[in-house]
């Protein structure tokens, strides 16, 4: 059973470009969470999704950021018109269905660098 997979592991973008980060949850998991870790800071919750539904996006910046978790395929975190302040590590976690308070399993993260 493969763990949570994220790609790419490292992503470099210039200011104004778009960044797409992908997360494939563990097999059988239908709950996905995205977290952001700014340099020298702790992790912060961004968004919680179930298949085809955004449950809570209270941690997402109001502009330029969006997330989806389609019926088929990975969850995508999309950042439009990136700025230097978006440089961070973005972690995805997943948990099984029916028990969203269950332990969350984390992916290796995507390190985004905005030049």
Partner 1 sequence: KNEVEQSPQNLTAQEGEFITINCSYSVGISALHWLQQHPGGGIVSLFMLSSGKKKHGRLIATINIQEKHSSLHITASHPRDSAVYICAVLRDSNYQLIWGAGTKLIIKP
By CB under 8 A, name the binding residues for partner 1. Answer: 31, 33, 35, 41-45, 48, 55-56, 59, 91, 95, 100-101, 103-109, 111
Q: Which CB atom, from 72 or from 103, has the smaller least distance to partner 1? A: 103
Nearest approach in angstroms of CB 16 to partner 1 is: 27
| β-strands 110-114, 105-106 pairing | unpaired
Q: What is the Cα–Cα distance from 74 to 107, expressed in whole angstroms?
A: 13
Reduced to 3 states, what is the DSSP secondary structure of residue 30?
coil
Q: Which CB atom, from 45 or from 66, has the smaller least distance to partner 1? A: 45
Q: Which CB atom, from 25 or from 107, has the smaller least distance to partner 1? A: 107
CA atoms within 13 A on the CB side of 12: 1
Q: Which CB atom, from 74 or from 109, has the smaller least distance to partner 1? A: 109
Nearest approach in angstroms of CB 94 to partner 1 is: 12
Q: Which residues have CB under 8 Å from 24's CB, separation 6+?
A: 4, 5, 6, 74, 75
Nearest approach in angstroms of CB 101 to partner 1 is: 5
């Amino acid at each position: 059973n493969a763990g949570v997979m994220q790609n790419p592991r490292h992503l470099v973008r210039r200011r104004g470009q778009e960044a797409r980060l992908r997360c494939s949850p563990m097999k059988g998991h239908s709950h996905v969470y995205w977290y952001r870790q700014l340099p020298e800071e702790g992790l912060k919750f961004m968004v919680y999704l179930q298949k085809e539904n955004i449950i809570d996006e209270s941690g997402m910046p109001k502009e330029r950021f969006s997330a989806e978790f389609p019926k088929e395929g990975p969850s995508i975190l999309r950042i439009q018109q990136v700025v230097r302040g978006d440089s961070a590590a973005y972690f995805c976690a997943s948990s099984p269905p029916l028990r969203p308070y269950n332990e969350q399993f984390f992916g290796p993260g995507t390190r985004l660098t905005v030049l």
